Amino acid sequence: MSTLPLETNIPQIPLQRPDGTFATLSDYLGQVVLVVNVASKCGLTPQYAGLESLYKEKREAGLTVLAFPAGNFRDQELDSDTEISAFCTLNYGVSFPIFSKISVAGADQHPLYAGLTHALPQALAADEFVTMMQKHNLHLASEPELLWNFEKFLISRQGEVVGRFAPHIGVEDPRLAQAIEAELAKA
């Protein structure tokens, strides 16, 4: 897996929380970060349970999960941050940070996702995901910025994008689990 540094401005991009306060990726330097674009009405939404389990199991070791709700794919996200937060808490007991709803693709793509997709343009197992979508009669754009909801970016303790995983790769998938473990093992 190639390691590309985040562009210098990426760690400083304001990331709005549902309560109106802001964070940046630089707030998480020293931790391994899994960034996930999420949606509440998607066939992959049950991945919240695995993400929460992973977060609880690995946060003491230095892992955090950051969720970014988005409605870019068939408008599968709820309308308001309040609805999204309530859904995640009530249905999945989510305790990892969930940020305000953003756009992760298209003309209004949030700068965070512009930087992440620029750093790693291709997701691991993208071809598997495209084939799976085609079996469900869903066809993606020829060169999408992001494949779908629940695509994952792994960021090292030093703030480098070290992995990008197709949406169907859940936390139990050895490809993601091993990448996370490898990053956690690094000082």
Catalytic residues: 42
In sequence order, which residues have a C-beta less than 8 Å from that of residue 106 and are 6 or more positions away? Answer: 72, 145
Whether the Cβ atoms of residue 155 and residue 6 lie closer than 8 Å to each other: yes
Could you tell me the two tokens for 162?
Answer: 């070290």
Residue 140 to residues 26, 129, 135, 147, Cα–Cα distance (Å): 33, 10, 12, 7
Could you tell me the two tokens for 3?
Answer: 């390691």
Classify 115 as helix, strand or coil.
Answer: helix
Q: What are phi and psi of 166, to 5 degrees?
A: -60, 155
Whether the Cβ atoms of residue 24 and residue 11 lie closer than 8 Å to each other: yes
| Whole-number Å distance between alpha carbons of 116 and 79 | 24
Residue 75 to residues 17, 24, 102, 132, 135, Cα–Cα distance (Å): 20, 26, 12, 20, 21
